[in-house]
A = this chain, B = another copy of it.
Amino acid sequence: MQGLLDQSASVGVLAGSGALPFAVAEQIAARGQRAVIFGIRGYCDAARIESYPHHWIALGQLGRLTRLLHQERCRDVIFLGGVVRPALSELRMDFGTLLAIPKLVSAFRGGDDHLLTGIGKLIEGYGLRTVGVHEIAPGLTMPEGRITRRQPDDQNVADIHKGVQVLKAISPFDVGQGVIVIDGNIVCVEDIEGTDAMLARAARLRRDGRLRAPPGRGVLIKMPKVGQNLKFDMPTVGSKTVEGVRDAGLAGIATIAGQTLFAEPQDAIAVADKAGLFITGLPV
């Protein structure tokens, strides 16, 4: 667990599921910093974590986590990858967590954004600093403008505008980060199901004849809620999203440049170009 670089500059990567924690660790290493991955048991990829300095932690082991972060001289901590909100009975709470319970209970009450921000604040109470991908690895966020061969047409642009308005309107309610707009109609609104499930639902509604728009029309719009803490919960787009958009028969994806994770850009762009879809980053 010894690194070659200046220990004082280590970054702790608290890692849930998916490829993103490792992509970010690579970026941190590429700029000469040491990354230590704290894999969350049951979520983090057990094969991939082996290539990095790492520790395993269970959900609920806040005491162990903060102790190891200090021991590894990580001042900055980044939360990455998927973790389904656990049932309380699944948590393996250690003493550090027990002490923090009143704050955790209040964090558990709100929507996802509320939960994650609450846990982030808790971590910061231990003298650590939480950072976001946009701060530590901006190369992994969506660039501005179109990045595919296809570009949005006038109707797509109008749909994007409408989607942004809807997301702004529901933003205060901590609902979801995505919406599907087809030729001026709000077709699907993302809620706790998440983006992939919403896209699968749109594909199903099309198969069932409930969604009658011709294929190749309409846009998935994703953007953070107003005031959303991008450190803990940044909208994400990847190959899987593009496949979902293709299967739902839409024309493309619009999301906010610099405020959207885009971890496997080459793969996602390849899938989009092959399917004739657009991906575009809107200016903030």
Contact = CB atoms under 8 A, between A and B. Distances in A.
Contacts of A48: none
A186 B162 contact: no
B193 A191 contact: no
Given A173-B166, A210-B84, A191 B192 contact: no
A266 interface: no
Contact of A172 (B109, B169, B201, B210): B169
A174 B186 CA distance: 7
Contact of A187 (B85, B169, B192, B205): B192
Contacts of A185: 110-111, 174, 192
Contacts of A111: 185-186
B186 A189 contact: no
Contacts of A31: none
Interface residues of A, number: 33
Nearest to A112: B185
A191 B184 contact: no
A101 B126 CA distance: 68
A185 B192 CA distance: 10
Contact of A166 (B175, B187, B192): B175
Contacts of A284: none
A218 to B, nearest CB: 12
Contact of A210 (B187, B188, B192): B192
The 3 lowest CB-CB distance pairs between A and B, nearest first, are: A189-B189, A175-B186, A169-B169
